[in-house]
Structure 1
Amino acid sequence: MATRPPDSPAAPSAPAAPGGRRRASHSLEAVVSEAVALLDEAGEPALTFRALATRLGGGVASIYWYVASKDELLDRACDHVLAGVLDEVAPASGSPDPLDDVRTIGVTLFDAIVARPWLAAYFLRDTDVQPHGLRLYDHLGQQVMRLGLSPRRSFDAVSAVMGYVVGVGADLGRQPPQEVLSGEVGRDEFVGRYADQWRALDPAAYPFLHYVVDEFAVHDDADQFLAGLDLLLAGLRLAADA
C-alpha cells in the first residue's frame, strides 16, 4: 500500500490514520474497480489519477493511499480482471484429457483479452501485485504437468500457449478502423479490399498469399484462433505421446 506524501492534502471527511494523518474515505477495491471501468470505457489514456479521483468523489492525493503510481494501478486493474478469469476456469482441472482443460483455460483468457484489449499489455507484468495472474499461469501449468513432460518441455509448452492466447487476443481486441466502426464499410467488404490487393500481386513473388487468399477473404477471426490453438495442442499431444 502506498503512503500519501506528507505535504499532500487529506481527503475531505476522511477518518484519521495512524500518525495523525487522514485516510482517504474510499477503499483499494473501489479505486481498482473504478480504474477498470475507466479502462473499459476509453482505454489506458483515459485513466488518470484526476479522472479517477473525480469518479470517486475525492482529491487526487487520496489515490496515493492505495497505489504509488499509475503503473501499479494498471497492474492491479489487470489482476482485478484476472481474478474473475481464474474463478471461471477453476473447474478446468482433472478432466480425462488434460489438453481439454488447457483449451478451456486458453479460450477463457482469450475471450477476456478480446473484450478488454488493454488487459494484454499488463498481463503478468508485475507478479508482486498480480497474484491472480500468477495463479492463472500456475493453473494452466498444472494441466500441462499431467502430460508427463520434462520441466523444460512443460515450461516451453505453457509459454507457447500463453504467448499465443495473449498475443492473438491483443491483436483481435484492437479497435477496428473508423469506417468499420461507423458502419460505413462492413467487415467483409473491408477484408475483401485486402484480398483483392493480394490477388493483384505477382503469384511468383507471393505464392503463399495466392494459395490462401480465398480462405483469407472469408475467414472468421475467432475460428482461426481456435484452429491455431488446436494446432498447438496437437503438437503438445505428440510431444507427450513421444
Structure 2
Amino acid sequence: MERHSMIIWNNIPSTSSSNMVKKSRGTQRREESLSRDQIIEASIALLDNGGESGLTFRALSERLATGAGAIYWYVDNKSDLLTAACDAVIAGTVDATSNAAALDASPKTAIRALALGMFDAIDAHPWVGAALTRAPGQLPTVRIFECIGQQVRALGVPKKAEWGAVSALLSYILGVSGQNAANAHVARELDADRTRFLNEVATMWSELDADEFPFTRSVAGRLRSHDDRGDFLTGIDLILAGIETTHGR
C-alpha cells in the first residue's frame, strides 16, 4: 500500500507543483500591489454608477481583479468601506475649497466656498448625503464640522455661541445638499425633464385657491426659472448675516 502510494506520487507531472507555485506567487504579487486608496477609488466609482446597492465585495473584487480576502485586509465590512469612500470625497472637497479660499482671508468667503463645494460634491456623488447621516460623529462629518468651526471662530463669535452657529451651518449644508441630490435621483429614476416638471408644478401652484395660498400663487412663476445652487447660497448668506447681526459684527 505504501509502495503504491509512492508510485502515484512519483507519477505526478513535475510541472504541476511548479504551476501551483507560480499561481500562488502571481496572486501574492497582485494582492501586494493593492492599496487602500485603490479600493476606495474603485468603491467610489461603483457607488457613482449604481448607488449603495452597486457596491458589493463581489463587484469590487471583479473591478480590482483580486479576491475578497485581499479587500478585507484593508476594510472590515461594507459599512466601513462606505464611510471610507465618503471620507475620501469629503477630504478632497475640504482641501480644494480651503486652498481656493486661502486667497481671500475672509471667513465668510471660506464658509461660502466650503458650502458650495459640499453642495457640488453631494450633487456629483448623491450617495454621500446618505453615507454622512449613517456615520454621525465620524471622520467625514468631523472634517466639515472642524472647517466650519474654525471660520466661525475667526468671525469673532463668542465661545458660548459657537456650537449653535456651527451646528446651524452644518445642518443647513448637509440637509439642503442631501435633499437636492435626492430630488435629482428621483428625477432620474422617473426619467423626468426638470424644465417640464417645474412648469407643471408652477402651473398647479398658480391654480391654487387665492385665499388659502396667496403667497404660493404669487411665487409660482419664480419656480419655473429658479436655480437650486443659487437658492442654496442665499440660505448660507442669510445664516451668516444672522450670525453677524446677533453677535454685533
**CA, structure 1 residues 143+178, in 2 after alignment: closer, same or farther (shift >3 Å)?**
closer
Q: How far off is 1:11 after superposition? A: 10
One-letter amino acid matched to 2:187: P
Partner of residue 207, structure 2: 200
Question: Residues of 2 paired with 1:83 and 1:76: CA distance?
Answer: 10
Question: Residues of 2 paired with 1:99 and 1:188: CA distance?
Answer: 33
Question: Residues of 2 paired with 1:222 and 1:180: CA distance?
Answer: 22
Please give the TM-score of this superposition, normalised by the length of structure 2.
0.79
Q: Deviations over 1:28-77 (max 9, x none)?
A: 11111100111111211100011001111112232211111111000000
Partner of residue 146, structure 2: 138
Alignment partner of 1:29 is 2:37: yes
Q: How far off is 1:156 after superposition? A: 1.4
Q: How far off is 1:179 after superposition? A: 8.3
Name which one, 1 or 2, has greater alpha-carbon Rg.
2
Question: Residues of 2 paired with 1:116 and 1:99: CA distance?
Answer: 25
One-letter amino acid matched to 2:83: D
> Is the contact between residue 11 and residue 61 of structure 1 (CA under 8 Å) also seen in structure 2?
no
Structure 2 stretches lacking a partner, 5+ long: 1-23
Question: Residues of 2 paired with 1:170 and 1:14: CA distance?
Answer: 41
Within the candidate set 203, 213, 229, 2:236 is matched to 229
Greater per-residue helix proportion = 2
Percent of aligned pairs with the same amino acid:
35
Alignment partner of 1:52 is 2:52: no
Partner of residue 91, structure 2: 83
Alignment partner of 1:148 is 2:156: yes
One-letter amino acid matched to 2:28: A
Q: How far off is 1:200 after superposition? A: 2.0
**CA, structure 1 residues 161+25, in 2 after alignment: closer, same or farther (shift >3 Å)?**
same
Alignment root-mean-square deviation, CA: 2.6
One-letter amino acid matched to 1:224: D
Aligned length: 221
Q: Deviations over 1:71-128 (max 9, x none)?
A: 1000000111112112212233584532122111111111111111111122372655
One-letter amino acid matched to 1:237: E
**CA, structure 1 residues 29+126, in 2 after alignment: closer, same or farther (shift >3 Å)?**
farther
Partner of residue 177, structure 1: 187
Structure 1 stretches lacking a partner, 5+ long: 1-9, 16-22
**CA, structure 1 residues 206+38, in 2 after alignment: closer, same or farther (shift >3 Å)?**
same
Within the candidate set 64, 74, 89, 2:72 is matched to 64
Please give the TM-score of this superposition, normalised by the length of structure 1.
0.81
